[in-house]
Amino acid sequence: MNWFLTLLWKIFYIFFMLLAFLAFITYYILHYVLPHKVNRKFVYIVVTIWAKVTLLSTGSRVEITGLENIPEERNLCLVGNHQSFFDIPAIMGWSGFPLGFIAKQELKKVPAIYHWMRELPCVFINRQNAREAMKSFQESAAVMKAGNPIVIFPEGTRAKSDIIAEFKAGSLKLPQMAGAVILPFAIKNTWRIFEIDNHIHPIRVKLALLPPIYPSDTVYKEKTGLPQYLQELITAKHKEM
């Protein structure tokens, strides 16, 4: 039965992404005449709809806690564990504010996704080229300083399980470069939607936003202490969810 559900979902999602591409064409035409704030609101609404439909269409639901921990600052970096490609729709659809993320440059080849990602804005990174990767970090820092929150996953790749891998210290240089507030989060069960066996399953996803870490906090300035602190904090929350 799961194979049939998966087939139906894939067919639906192809048509849904075509609609997303048509929506971008509409936006592209209108953004020349609409005020900047209206354009940003339009992008946020469309991307939120995309995120919620992407996840809810699998029959899954999202349970979010910790919304009271979201700081007023928008020079903000969300840091959490990475289980699945459904993590991004869960965070974007339920966090309640616009945000972008650092993405693999290969996503530039997917038109319907790439164009909207560029408007968020997201930053594309070439992990195989250290010089280009550093440029992407600098661009991401500038994006956050301009008031556009960014999501990063210090594990570096999807776990496809409940195991949380070691947080790479290098990725956490990004919020420090921007002087951004760090908003930790823990996410659970997204990998069970598809990655568990490459079939769609309706799952209850859990997302927890944890208390923010400010540049003035002692741990924020620790090069090795910060990654370890965040990993322990997020792992502990993940286990209790």
pLDDT over threshold 80, residue 111: no
What pLDDT is recorded for position 6? 93
Mean of pLDDT values over 118-136: 85
When pLDDT is cut at 50, 70 and 90, the band that residue 241 belongs to is: very high
Per-residue pLDDT tens digits for 162-209:
999 999 998 899 999 999 999 999 999 999 999 999 999 999 999 999
Distance CA(64)–CA(82), nearest Å, equals 16
Give the angle subtended at the CA of 90 by the CAs of 172 and 188, to the nearest 5°.
Answer: 75
Mean pLDDT, all residues of the chain: 93
What CATH number does the domain containing 113 carry?
3.40.1130.10
* pTM of the full structure: 0.93
When pLDDT is cut at 50, 70 and 90, the band that residue 1 belongs to is: low
Provide the percentage of residues in the chain whose pLDDT is more than 90. Answer: 73
pLDDT over threshold 70, residue 109: yes
Structural domain of residue 167, as residue ranges?
2-240
Mean of pLDDT values over 214-234: 94
Q: Considering its fold, how many domains does the chain have in total?
A: 1
Per-residue pLDDT tens digits for 10-38:
999 999 999 998 999 999 898 889 898 89
